[in-house]
C-alpha cells in the first residue's frame, strides 16, 4: 500500500476538465474497472467515439488519466486512472472557479448517490462484502485547525489503502468511499 503526493487543483483548466459530466463518468469507470479504450468507453456510455477520444485526451492533458503503454498497440490506446490524492480548492477566489468546483462536486454527489442506491437495491448480491460494509452518519465539534487535521488524517488513511490493479489481491473489488467534512449549516432561528 502506498502514499500518494497531494495534488491540489488550483488552476481553472484542471477544474473545468474534471467538471465535465462525461469525463467524470469515464474517470470513475477507469478507476472501478481498470484500463479501457475510447471505443470501450464510447460503447459503455453510448457516446460518440470521437467525442470520447477528445474527452480522454483532456483528462490526460490535465493528469487525471494516462496511457497504459503495456496494453496499447498501434492505434489502439488503453487508458488508465492512476491512484491520486486529488484536492479541490478550499476557498474559491472567483466566480469561474466557484462554478467549476460546484460542477465537480455535483458530479461526485451524483456518482455517490448512484453507488449507494445500487448497493442498497440488492446488498445480498455483494455477499461477504455487504456484511463487511459500513454506513455511518455522524458529526463532531471541531476547531478550524482540528477540522484541517481531521481531513488530513482521513486522507492519509484512505491513501494507506490505495493500490494499483497489479498489487491488489485477486479477491479484492473496487470499494466506494464517501467522505464530507464541512461546517453544519446554521438553521434560521
Divide the 189 residues of the chain into consecutive groups of 10 and give the mean pLDDT of each group.
73 95 95 93 96 97 95 93 88 92 94 90 91 89 95 90 83 87 77
* Confidence at residue 141, expressed as pLDDT on a 0 to 100 scale: 93
CB of 151 within 8 A of CB of 181? Answer: yes
Residues 49 and 38: beta-carbon distance below 8 Å:
yes
Report d(CA 100, CA 20) in Å as an integer: 9
DSSP class of residue 11 equals: S
Please provide residue 116's backbone torsions phi and psi, each rounded to the nearest 5 degrees: -65, -45
pTM of the complete model? 0.83
Amino acid at each position: 500500500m502506498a502514499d500518494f503526493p497531494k495534488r491540489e487543483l488550483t488552476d481553472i483548466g484542471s477544474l473545468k476538465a474534471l467538471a465535465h459530466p462525461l469525463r467524470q463518468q469515464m474517470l470513475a469507470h477507469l478507476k472501478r474497472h481498470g484500463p479501457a479504450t475510447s471505443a470501450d468507453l464510447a460503447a459503455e456510455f453510448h457516446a460518440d467515439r470521437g467525442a470520447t477520444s477528445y474527452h480522454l485526451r483532456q483528462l490526460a492533458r490535465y493528469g487525471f488519466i494516462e496511457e497504459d503503454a503495456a496494453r496499447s498497440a498501434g492505434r489502439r490506446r488503453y487508458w488508465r486512472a492512476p491512484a491520486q490524492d486529488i484536492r479541490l480548492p478550499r476557498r474559491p477566489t472567483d466566480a469561474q472557479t466557484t462554478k467549476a468546483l460546484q460542477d465537480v462536486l455535483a458530479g461526485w454527489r451524483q456518482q455517490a448517490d448512484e453507488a449507494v442506491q445500487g448497493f442498497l437495491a440488492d446488498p445480498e448480491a455483494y455477499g461477504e462484502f455487504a456484511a463487511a460494509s459500513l454506513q455511518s452518519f455522524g458529526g463532531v465539534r471541531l476547531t478550524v485547525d482540528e477540522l484541517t487535521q481531521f481531513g488530513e488524517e482521513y486522507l492519509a488513511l484512505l491513501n494507506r489503502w490505495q493500490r494499483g490493479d497489479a498489487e491488489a489481491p485477486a479477491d479484492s473489488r473496487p470499494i466506494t468511499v464517501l467522505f464530507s467534512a464541512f461546517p453544519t449549516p446554521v438553521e434560521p432561528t
